[in-house]
C-alpha cells in the first residue's frame, strides 16, 4: 500500500519492466536527478507486483506518474512519457 508522509511531496510512478516507455522514464530520472530534487521521494511501482494499487489509482496507461502533495493527496497525474513533456510536467508541479 502507498504511504506518504505529512510534510512530503512525492513522485510515484506506476510502470512495468516490459514497458519500453517505463524503461526510458527510469533512465531519464537516473540521468536528470536535478529535475526531481525538489521532491522528497521518488517511488517506482511495478504494476505486475502491485495490481491493487494500479486499480486503486485507476491506471490505464503505463507509465502513469503521480505527484502527491503535502497532505498525501494527488496533486497531479501524467500518463505516458516523452522527455520534453515530462520535464514540463515536473516544472509545472515545482512549488
Q: Please give the model's pTM, rounded to 2 decimal places.
A: 0.89
Distance separating alpha carbons of residues 95 and 84, to the nearest angstrom: 19
- Lowest-pLDDT range, 5-9, 41-45, 47-51, 85-89? 5-9
Give the per-residue SS3 of 32-92.
Answer: CHHHHCCCCEEEEEECCCCHHHHHHCCCCCCCEEEEECCCCCEEEEEECCCHHHHHHHHHH
Tell me the per-residue pLDDT of 1-44, one tens digit each, with 9 for 90 and over.
Answer: 455 444 479 999 999 999 999 999 999 999 999 999 999 999 99
Closest to 66 (Cα-Cα) out of 48, 31, 39: 39
Q: How confident is the model at residue 70 (pLDDT cuts 50, 70, 90)?
A: confident
Mutual orientation of helices 83-92 and 20-31 as an angle, nearest 10°?
A: 60
Amino acid at each position: 500500500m502507498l504511504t506518504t508522509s505529512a510534510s512530503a511531496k512525492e513522485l510515484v510512478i506506476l510502470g512495468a519492466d516490459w514497458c519500453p516507455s517505463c524503461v526510458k522514464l527510469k533512465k531519464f530520472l537516473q540521468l536528470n536527478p536535478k529535475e526531481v530534487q525538489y521532491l522528497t521521494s521518488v517511488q517506482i511501482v511495478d504494476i505486475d507486483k502491485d495490481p491493487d494499487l494500479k486499480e486503486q489509482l485507476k491506471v490505464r496507461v503505463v507509465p502513469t506518474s503521480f505527484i502527491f502533495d503535502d497532505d498525501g493527496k494527488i496533486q497531479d497525474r501524467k500518463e505516458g512519457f516523452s522527455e520534453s513533456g515530462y520535464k514540463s510536467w515536473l516544472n509545472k508541479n515545482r512549488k
